[in-house]
Amino acid sequence: MKRRDTIFDRLALKEKLFINQQMRSLGALNSELQKLEDMRQKLSDMAADSATKTQEQTAFTLRSSAELSYQIRVQLETASNRSDHLSEELQFMRRKIALSDRRREKSASKAEQIRRTNRDEREARREEDDASRRKSCPR
């Protein structure tokens, strides 16, 4: 029985290591998502600034501002798609971490339950041995 509780302890430790690894990855994804949000904000500001020109312009400036606004929209769309994908990835990782944490808790509680059962059995045997010694030793 001693081996079973160490197996569950090892499973709990394995899950804990996996959770730590996933948490580091989660932190990296969170920082990436924050950078993306900052970039999206800057692109939105640039799009708003480039669209407010109402004065007379030449064909060249109109063409270049249209090209610039098109490039900004493309980058903004790319950033939005990437942000959506990262949000889904973060949600998936959080779900995986929660499942691993539940498995870790189950393994740890199972190991503790086995230890408790073994301890109770040892104490019961010890009490029986003490009781049998008392009976066999006349006073």
CATH number, domain with residue 105:
1.10.287
The model's pLDDT over 27-76, given as tens digits with 9 standing for 90+, comes to 999 999 999 999 999 988 888 887 666 677 788 888 888 888 899 899 99
How many domains, in total, are found in the chain?
A: 1
Quickly tell me which residue has 């996933």 as its tokens: 22
138 inside domain = no
Decide if 103 contacts 53 (C-beta within 8 A): no
Q: Rounded to 5 degrees, what are φ and ψ at 138?
A: -75, 150
Whole-number Å distance between alpha carbons of 27 and 33: 10
Place 134 in a pLDDT band, splitting at 50, 70 and 90. Answer: confident
Tokens for 108, please give them: 């740890």
- pLDDT for the residue numbered 53: 64
Decide if pLDDT at 7 tops 60. Answer: yes
132 inside domain = no
Q: Give the structural domain span for 39.
A: 2-127
Mean pLDDT of the 110-129 span: 91
Instruction: For the chain, report the end-to-end CA distance as a whole number of angstroms.
Output: 38
Cβ-based neighbour number of residue 102 at 10 Å: 11
134 inside domain = no
Of 88 and 54, more confident: 88
- pLDDT for the residue numbered 19: 95
